[in-house]
Amino acid sequence: MSHRDFGRRLGCWSSGIMERNRRTASWRSLVGNMSRLVGAVSLAFGLALAGEGLSALAAQGGGTTQGADSASAAAPLSAARAEERPELQSYFADLGTHGTFVAKDMRTGRVIVVDEQRARRGYRPQSTFKIANALIALETGVAQDADHPVFKWDGRTRAIEAWNQDHTLRSAVNASALPVFQEIARRIGHDRMKALVRQLGYGNADIGGAPVDRFWLAGNLHISAYEQIVFLERLYRDELRVSKRAQAIVKDIMLVEKGEGYALRGKTGSAGKGGIGWFVGWVERGQDVFFFALNLDLTSRDLIGKRIPTVKALLGDLGML
């Protein structure tokens, strides 16, 4: 073979290799582009699914994403699932007032409601907020436990005698000692309070409209009877976005009474004559748990003392107590 023929063959061989390299590079580029396209589609699909998931959780949390982490077991209440019992409105009529009552059987999911429209209407929580306030106090370290620290009486004499003394978190809940919880709120501070009320998914989670030590009495914070039930069930299940320790302590200090075969836990709230009266909580009876929320118009001061007996009578009528 002449040098000239060898050179021509060498040139053709080199050109063939270069062509194959170009084809290989093009193929690799095509594969790479397809991989990136598949990845982008997968990411978009994943984000879409995540968005749907967040939307579902927000719906379970009452329209906000706060508290959505705890919505898995404590399902939202809906009118479709509620059994309205208008004949039970007689309990309120006999008192000369109007009100609503919601009860939920945790085991069966059965929901009973008196005045469903009112059950959806938000009202200021008044002293029922002490449940959330106690949780936040424990979560922030303002209270170490149910019995520490001792919150010293400020020396001002008030009309409710039980307020005129030192208190722990436990005794302050039992006495519904407003001055103690106002001091607790001031120690927590506005920013931490705002963040943790949102984190709990409590009502509309708006602490504006009044100072940090009065927003649950005269501010923008509102909660409905239905929302009270959802909040209480999450608390019972240890599903609120605070420590299980804080939830266990608050559940312990919410005890109102123990009877034969049952325990009643809850918290009252009221704004005085002309305002709203609350009693919310649950009954533990063997393996069964029944959540309840009552609010009524306080057309007279006598009705303040009727809240707990009315709830017990309604629960008895429904076979829950």
What ranges in 189-272 are assigned the alpha helix state H?
A: 190-200, 215-218, 225-236, 244-253
pLDDT for position 243: 98
pLDDT value, residue 272? 78
Cα-only R_g, the chain: 30
| pLDDT given for residue 40 in this prediction | 39
Residue 307 and residue 296 in contact, taking contact as beta carbons nearer than 8 Å: yes
- Paired with 124 in beta bridges are none
Whether 51 and 183 map to the same domain: the answer is: no
Which of the residues are catalytic?
127
pTM beyond 0.85: the answer is no
Is residue 56 located within the same domain as residue 130?
A: no
Number of independent structural domains in the chain: 2
Pair 236, 180: CB distance under 8 Å? no
Q: Are residues 70 and 154 in the same domain?
A: yes
Domain final residue, candidates 60, 75, 90: 60
- Domain carrying residue 120: 65-317
Task: Tell me what pLDDT residue 275 has.
Answer: 93
**44/133 same-domain check:** no
Q: Which two tokens stand for residue 223?
A: 């909660």
Domain-terminating residue out of 60, 82, 102: 60
What are 293's two structure tokens?
A: 């929320």
Given this model, what pLDDT does residue 81 score? 75
Query: What is the pLDDT tens value at each position of the chain, 321 positions in all?
Result: 544 444 444 344 444 444 544 544 444 444 344 444 334 333 333 333 333 333 333 333 333 333 333 333 455 665 557 899 999 999 999 999 999 999 999 999 999 999 999 999 999 999 999 999 999 999 999 999 999 999 999 999 999 999 999 999 999 999 999 999 999 999 999 999 999 999 999 999 999 999 999 999 999 999 999 999 999 999 999 999 999 999 999 999 999 999 999 999 999 999 877 899 999 999 999 999 999 999 999 999 999 999 999 999 999 999 999
> Residue with structure tokens 């559940």?
251
